[in-house]
Amino acid sequence: MVIVPLDSRLGSVEIAKILDHSDTSGLIAEDSLAESVPDVDLELVLSLDGSQLGMTYETAVQGASAINPEIETTESDTFAIAYTSGTTGRPKGVMLSHRSRCRTFYCAALEWNLGFGRRSVAVAPMSHGAGFAFAFAALHTGGTVSMLRSFEPERLLSLIQQDRAQSVFLVPTHAFRLQSLGEPRLHQFDLSSLDTLYFNAAPFPWALKEWTLDTFPNVGLHEIYGSTEASIVTNLRPGDQRRKPGSVGVPWFMTEVRLIDGEENP
């Protein structure tokens, strides 16, 4: 099966277009989102935390065979179709292979020390390329992931403290929301377990980054540049944050980068 992550904020018309374009045959949706599920012909619809949409996911799992279907999958087969529109235009489906995802997961584990015994917090939506990739990378390599249902600064800090999380992926807007809490409130949480923050998905203003560096002095900060199609392209590592303001770092593992001008000249 190829997964097609959907943004829960989309309307039924937008979802219907994606389901049709991706030739999706089955849908798993939270019961609270039943009104957003379009009236389209699907082979299977499963409901989470309720039964408005039909059979519950838990019932389907309990009734499934325990025998491995032994379906052969090659590394070049499609793992997921992620819909992205960047800043303009209609969403386009990006076909991501098993090889592409595994490469991202293993390199992320190498870069951010993911794996057995490591604990991460998933903040970004699972429909977002980076949010899904970083959360799944931790699971894929044997770690534990705590998930926030929706982002609230104090809920994030409380979860880090409660689960002794060591790494968190954020976008710059999250840092701004944390800054808005104020220093006294921030320091009420025990964040001593945290050792890694990585940011992606939008430009990171230098003033906000400097605040983040000063507020979390014992945490390694990474700023990543990438895309849904190409995954991670570059990474600015902790030692270069203050030395190279405005930079997004050097090419990531196993990645070739070519710099060109507006006329595509090197």
In this prediction, residue 69 has a pLDDT band, given cuts at 50, 70 and 90, of confident
Q: Could you read off the pLDDT of 155-166 as tens digits, one per residue?
A: 999 999 999 999
The CATH code that applies to domain 97-251 is 3.40.50.980
SS (H, E, C) the chain: CCECCCCCCCCHHHHHHHHHHCCCCEEEEEHHHHHHCCCCCCCEEEEECCCCCCCEHHHHHHCCCCCCCCCCCCCCCEEEEEEECCCCCCCEEEEEEHHHHHHHHHHHHHHHCCCCCCEEEECCCCCCHHHHHHHHHHHHCCCEEEECCCCCHHHHHHHHHHHCCCEEEECHHHHHHHHCCCHHHHCCCCCCCCCEEEECCCCCCHHHHHHHHHHCCCCEEEEEEEECCCEEEEEECHHHCCCCCCCCCEECCCCCCCCCCCCCCC
Provide the residue type at 145 as one letter.
V
CA distances from 253 to 86, 199, 234, 250, 259 (A): 24, 17, 9, 9, 17
Mean pLDDT in residue range 22-35: 91
In this prediction, residue 51 has a pLDDT band, given cuts at 50, 70 and 90, of confident
Per cent of the chain over pLDDT 90 is 64
Tokens (6 digits) for 13: 């018309």
Mean pLDDT in residue range 118-139: 87
In this prediction, residue 100 has a pLDDT band, given cuts at 50, 70 and 90, of very high
Residue 160 has a pLDDT of 96
Residue 169 has a pLDDT of 92
CB 162 within 8 A of CB 119: no
pTM for the complete prediction? 0.86
Residue 88 has a pLDDT of 63
Mean pLDDT in residue range 89-100: 87
Which residue, 117, 30, 135, 91, is CA-closest to 228? 91
Q: For the range 210-217, what are the long-range contacts, defined as Cβ-Cβ under 8 Å and sequence gap of 24 or more?
A: 210/242, 211/175, 211/179, 212/175, 212/179, 213/241, 213/242, 215/178, 215/179, 215/183, 215/186, 216/191
Neighbours of 126 (CB within 10 A): 15
In this prediction, residue 131 has a pLDDT band, given cuts at 50, 70 and 90, of confident
CB 223 within 8 A of CB 209: yes
| Residue 173 scores a pLDDT above 80 | yes
Mean pLDDT in residue range 85-112: 86
| Residue 128 scores a pLDDT above 90 | no
Mean pLDDT in residue range 127-133: 81
Domain ranges of the chain: 12-71, 97-251
Which residue, 166, 155, 174, 238, is CA-closest to 196? 166
Q: Could you read off the pLDDT of 186-241 as tens digits, one per residue?
A: 989 999 999 999 998 888 999 999 999 999 999 999 999 988 888 899 999 999 99
Question: What is the rounded CA–CA span in Å between residue 122 and residue 167?
Answer: 9
Q: List beta partners, residue 144.
A: 119
Residue 124 has a pLDDT of 86
